[in-house]
Amino acid sequence: MIKKLIFISLLSLLISCGNKETELVKISSNTKELPIEIGDNVTINYTDSGMLKAKLFAPILERYTSETRMETEMTEGITAYFYNSSGQVTSYIKSKYALRNEKERTITARNDVNVINNKGDTLRTEELIWDEKTDRIYSQKFVRITSPDKIIMGTGLESNTEFSKFRVLNITGIISLNP
């Protein structure tokens, strides 16, 4: 009788422990990763050897640092100004969303991305990547570039951050604006 009582006690103990572990796994897998930093109306200066290269503004900035995610998310977009060696603005980027990959040092701007240079050339696309290491911008998406004399449309673009030397990878149309 004592053996049966011990067996039933051990069996009930094993069953109750197993269910609690399963519940804990379910709870931990449903949690959302929270940012380690949140900022409102943030300004970030990018410099090289003491020279201002770019200035980025973001209404909301959330930084995540974990084993799986090393990113800064700007859910309300960005405005980034690029400067030449004389300290003058050469171009700027605006978007409604941006994500910075901390490891790769790239910023992916998405949703209604506009780039305008000091000559008045305008680039419109849905996604643009700024590589901080190479000081280049590029896209694999549809692009539309409007300059004073023409409109160029295509898929894919490579450019310097000044947006003064660019190349459309797959041109689908050129419209001349001169009569």
DSSP 8-state secondary structure symbol assigned to residue 103: T
Q: Residue 109: what pLDDT?
A: 97
Distance CA 46, CA 135 (A): 11
CATH topology of domain 37-176: lipopolysaccharide transport protein A fold (2.60.450)
Confidence band, pLDDT 50/70/90 cuts, at residue 76 = very high
The Cβ of residue 122 has, within 10 Å, a number of other Cβ atoms equal to 15
pTM as predicted:
0.77
Place of tokens 């409007």: 146
Q: Residue 5: what pLDDT?
A: 61
Confidence band, pLDDT 50/70/90 cuts, at residue 31 = low
Asked if the model's pLDDT at residue 3 lies above 80, the reply is no
Q: Residue 19: what pLDDT?
A: 47
